Amino acid sequence: MLYPTPIAKLIESFTKLPGIGIKTATRLAFYTVGMNDEDVNDFAKNLLSAKRELTYCSVCGNLTDDDPCSICSDETRDKTVVLVVEDAKDVSAMEKIQEYHGLYHVLHGLISPMNGVGPDDINLKGLITRLQEDSGISEVIIATNATADGEATSMYLSRLLKPAGIKVTRLARGLAVGSDIEYADEMTLLRAIENRTEI
């Protein structure tokens, strides 16, 4: 079915968002058209504001509206530990648990030879520079996802940092809470055995 040009363009815009197919984009477009003018204006202002006012922290690479970000400038944080994550969403996830009190470094991607992404294409230089300039950092925790690219990035970082005398650790892997052993894949079970803890 052909739609009037304005709504067709709106549908097309929504399909550019990750995880939004044509049906969902169409539903969102028609919902947006049905919103009152004030809500549409607020929505548009918030989109523009987020795009214009957010930047990346010059220290850790996290999304921020202040530079350096609130985490890097927080004097109560443990400045001896840096947790390396793939993107800014991972920082938010770690902060929600309120148990990690160190610093972060956001890579903005992972090394992926299959996709032509090498070490120079992600924020590794920023991490190396940071470690060279701050001799107080004694541990780097690698918190990339348990995917082929996450493992490749983890191994690369480990080989790069260990000769410098920096302790390199990886988040524990294993069975998720509430999961059944019979449905777990071999790699998950292997990680669960390797990372077992005493009770």
Task: Compute CA distances 175 → 50, 62, 147, whole Å.
Answer: 37, 29, 15
Q: Do the domains 76-170 and 5-53 match in fold? A: no
What is the structure's pLDDT at 198?
A: 64
What is the structure's pLDDT at 25?
A: 97
What is the structure's pLDDT at 164?
A: 84
Mean per-residue pLDDT pooled into runs of 10, the chain (199 residues): 90 96 96 96 95 95 94 96 95 91 96 92 93 88 89 92 89 77 78 72
Rounded to whole angstroms, the Cα distance separating 193 from 150 reads 20
Q: Is the pTM of this model over 0.85?
A: no
* CA-angle at 101, arms to 100 and 104, nearest 5°: 85
* Topology, domain 76-170: Dna Topoisomerase Vi A Subunit; Chain: A, domain 2 (3.40.1360)
Q: Domains of the chain: which residue ranges?
A: 5-53, 76-170
Angle, helices 148-161 vs 124-133, to 10°: value is: 30
What is the structure's pLDDT at 199?
A: 58
Rounded to whole angstroms, the Cα distance separating 62 from 49 reads 17
What is the structure's pLDDT at 20?
A: 96
Give 5-53's CATH code, choosing from 3.40.50.10420, 1.20.120.530, 1.10.8.420, 2.60.40.10: 1.10.8.420
Rounded to whole angstroms, the Cα distance separating 35 from 37 reads 6
What is the structure's pLDDT at 197?
A: 65
What is the structure's pLDDT at 182?
A: 79
Helices (H) and strands (E) in the chain, counts: 7, 6
Rounded to whole angstroms, the Cα distance separating 10 from 44 reads 13
